Amino acid sequence: MRYLLAAVNAKFIHSNPAVYLLKGCAPASCREQIAIAEYTINEYPDRILADIYRRRPDVLAFSCYIWNRKLIFWLVREIKKVLPSLTLWLGGPEASFQAEDILAEEPSVDGIFTGEGEIPFHEFVLEMESARSQGHRPDLAHVPGIVTRKEDGGFLVTADADFPDLDRLPFFYDDLTPFRSRIIYYESSRGCPFHCSYCLSSREDHIRLRSLPLVQEDLLFFLDRKLPQVKFLDRTFNFNEEHALGIWNFLKEHDNDITNFHFELESDLLTEKELVLLESLRPGLVQAEIGVQSTNSRTLAALHRRTDFSWLEKCCRRLLKNRNIHVHLDLIAGLPYEDLESFAHSFNQVYRLHPHELQLGFLKLLPGTELRERADQFGITALADAPYEVLSTRWLSYDDILLLKNIEEVLEIYYNSGQFSLTMAALENYFPDPFSMYRQLALFYEGNHYFVQTPSRIRRYDILLEFIIETVRPEAEVVCRFFAQLLTCDLYLRENMKSRPSFAEAQTYRRHPKNVHLEEADFPLQQILPYYPGKAPAMLPEKKTLLSFDYENRSPVTGNVTMTEADPGNGNVQQ
């Protein structure tokens, strides 16, 4: 019997660890019969259908998530037209919490794996192979963690499966061929100690760790092969201090100067020991993602979250000041008790920490979560199908949501890209607060139809200068020159351009190393790059400054090259 485990990822660079774990946990005698296929949501559906058909599986199982549900359910409805004898199963969070509803609505689906699938899939394959060899119908009543059809038209719901021992889960990266040019995902724990009402992890109380020696052995495999990045899937990596310190100390001791490791952290659980260790790591070794979600205390209480923002602020400022760890903070729009004014307050508080990334996400009413069950209480309306994203709440209208969507887009372009760090930091001083700045920029984009035109990367620099001239209305020439030169510096901090940008003065330099760019500026370095720039000076300095951009020395944290003041004697300016 041929089995196909199919994953449909959001992007090519992503992979799906679940299907590899399922295969690794199947009976050893059957693993050769199990194939894995990974697709993306950007592929033509009919091509995925054709590929599955050509593989001719007897059993097909899809791993379902909010980003692939629509495409998978299209495939579910079409696949049995060309493979009528196929046995079709679903698993993953988009199937687990709606099993009976899906079976009632989708006659092509034969069954659903619920919860963690390693043990159910193992038992399922054993029964399928036993039934095939003995010539009878499979009896799935003893297979835990499944929902399937009964002959009388009802549903068979078996007992929950035991949680697998993480130490017994296989390490499936021995062959890295399928993961070439993809992000490597790894988990050292499962479960979460918190019960946030919008999160599926809130339904799980069983927290488990993979033993530290095994984790270290796995990580050494990645380090020895100098992989660019490994992302930990742990929901709250630092819920166990000893475990977290053991891993970070190991990474510090075996650092290969290349591999980066990404962790999701809970700020309230960060300890002084952990902060001291994090501060000692090589720049670029670690990325830290922290979910803030909101700073409104009433909102947090409704979510069953308790965040000490003063401690979060101290932790973030320490990590950012040390400039060795990329810090990513998250906010969620559309939460209970948060109107536009309250969200702006949360946004401003988090933005003023100046993390390297600030993700503005939107509430999703995931099936199986408490917040979905209480949606009417909070007046929350959301998309009926995946990704179940919020449309309005008692506190936010759909107009407000659309405004925040536009703010999210300009935030991605002008802040999270890291390509405009000097300009945006200076521009912030010309607005009452950061949220007002991005709101105005979003309205400017919409008014000029730039959201529709999707301007190129270089064109975005010109647009930002247009916005500054129209909104800040700098009457003095010094302000115009200040922002034009900040934009020029931002551009050269990322790329050694062969042609001059339209907003930069026409000038070139000779007699400098191949991987260095020299740029003449009206303002000294300390006015451009303390962390962060202020307003433009009242008048131009008498003496110009020569700035050097060294493309052999790039920050692994920000991606920017080193900018220093150069000796004017090392280069001749040609006007």
- At 279-337, the pLDDT tens digits run 999 999 999 999 999 999 999 999 999 899 999 999 999 999 999 999 999 999 999 99
Q: Is 450 exposed, middle or buried (0-12, 13-18, 19+ CB in 10 A)?
A: buried
DSSP 99-121: HHHHHHH-TT--EEE-S--HHHH
Query: Quick one: how many helices (H) and strands (E) in the chain?
Result: 20, 22
Share of the chain above pLDDT 70, in %: 95
Q: How confident is the model at residue 574 (pLDDT cuts 50, 70, 90)?
A: very low
**Which candidate, 531, 570, 503, 558, places its Cα nearest to that of 357?**
558
Mean pLDDT across 268-273 = 96
pLDDT at 494: 93
Cα(59)–Cα(526) distance, integer angstroms: 65
Mean pLDDT across 353-362 = 97
Report in angstroms the alpha-carbon separations of 473 from 60, 125, 439, 534: 62, 69, 17, 17
Q: 475 is written with which tokens?
A: 């009457």
Q: Is 195 exposed, middle or buried (0-12, 13-18, 19+ CB in 10 A)?
A: middle
pLDDT at 367 over 80: yes
pLDDT at 530 over 50: no
pLDDT at 420 over 50: yes
In 3-state terms, what secondary structure has residue 489?
helix
The pTM (predicted TM-score) of the whole model is 0.93
Residues 6+ apart with CB under 8 A from 476: 536
Angle of the 309-322 helix axis to the 272-279 helix axis, nearest 10: 20
Residue 431: count other Cβ atoms within 10 Å of its Cβ. Answer: 16
Mean pLDDT across 399-426 = 96
The half-sphere exposure of 375 on its side-chain side, counting CA atoms within 13 A, is: 21
Q: 98 is written with which tokens?
A: 């709606």
pLDDT at 135: 87
Cα(401)–Cα(335) distance, integer angstroms: 11
pLDDT at 510: 52
pLDDT at 147 over 70: yes
pLDDT at 569: 59
Q: Is 546 or 527 the better-scoring residue by pLDDT?
A: 546
280: DSSP letter: T
Mean pLDDT across 104-114 = 96
pLDDT at 541: 72
Cα(371)–Cα(336) distance, integer angstroms: 9
H-only helix segments in 374-524: 398-411, 421-427, 434-447, 450-453, 457-471, 477-494
